[in-house]
A and B are shown apart, each in its own frame.
Chain A
Amino acid sequence: EIVLTQSPGTLSLSPGGRATLSCRASQSVSQLAWYQHKLGQAPRLLIYGASSRATGIPDRFSGSGSGTDFTLTISRLEPEDFAVYYCQQYGSSPRTFGQGTKVEIK
């Protein structure tokens, strides 16, 4: 099973700031996605294929990386971006999620 480790656990930033979230895999990953999850809501697909934005996702969200190291960047934090973010590998079985990074208002 591929273990995904996200860092940091919590990121405290101000609106307008830049968020850089990391997802590191225990072995090489062929397909990686990022999701945003707000309390009381369904998760939302942001990025798939490591760097492709899902439908309707603003361009302040970007994904990069390959192999075992991946990054989600939010260029300018909007108030609605404060949430928990999960990476997921879906290229091998079993599919696995990281433990999440919480982006909170500083």
Chain B
Amino acid sequence: EVQLVQSGAEVKKPGESLKISCEASGYSFITYWIGWVRQMPGKGLEWMGIIYPGDSDTRYSPSFKGQVTISADKSFNIAFLQWSSLKASDTAMYYCARLQSSGNFYQPFDYWGQGTLVTVSS
């Protein structure tokens, strides 16, 4: 059974760094793209970016390029989303999700994590 289990909720101050995780199981981690989706409070879903754990090829939406870093540790089947300096506007729920098919990255997300709530407040 495919499962994506995300790390727990975080409360941080502006300017702090943060790395959240998504542990994958039940499939070949290195052969499927995995990505991140943001949902700000009361808002819709936003596609942030994806990574191919097999070779760490990473693609970002222009809105998020330079704002976050997506990485993966294929030894432990974990994907990460990190910030070097958080802002209040980073407050949101973040979901990890797997692309539906191995191969090309023009795919929908078929399996999703439960979400990690990140709150940034002074």
Contact = CB atoms under 8 A, between A and B. Distances in A.
Contact of A97 (B47, B114, B115): B47
A37 B106 contact: no
Interface string A19-41: 00000000000010101010001
Contact of A94 (B37, B63, B100, B115): B63
A48 B100 contact: yes
B115 A95 contact: no
A48 B108 contact: yes
Given A42-B114, A45-B100, A99 B44 contact: yes
Contacts of A33: 108
Contacts of B100: 45, 48
Contacts of B113: 42
B1 interface: no
B112 A94 contact: no
Q: What's the dominant secondary structure at chain A's contact region? A: loop
A8 interface: no
Interface of A: 1, 31, 33, 35, 37, 41-45, 48, 54-55, 86, 88, 90-100
Interface of B: 37, 44-47, 59, 61-63, 95, 97, 100, 106-110, 112-115
30 contacts: A31-B106, A33-B108, A35-B108, A35-B109, A37-B45, A41-B114, A42-B95, A42-B114, A43-B45, A43-B97, A43-B109, A43-B112, A45-B100, A45-B108, A48-B110, A54-B110, A88-B45, A88-B47, A90-B106, A92-B106, A93-B61, A94-B47, A94-B63, A95-B47, A95-B61, A96-B47, A97-B44, A97-B46, A97-B47, A100-B44
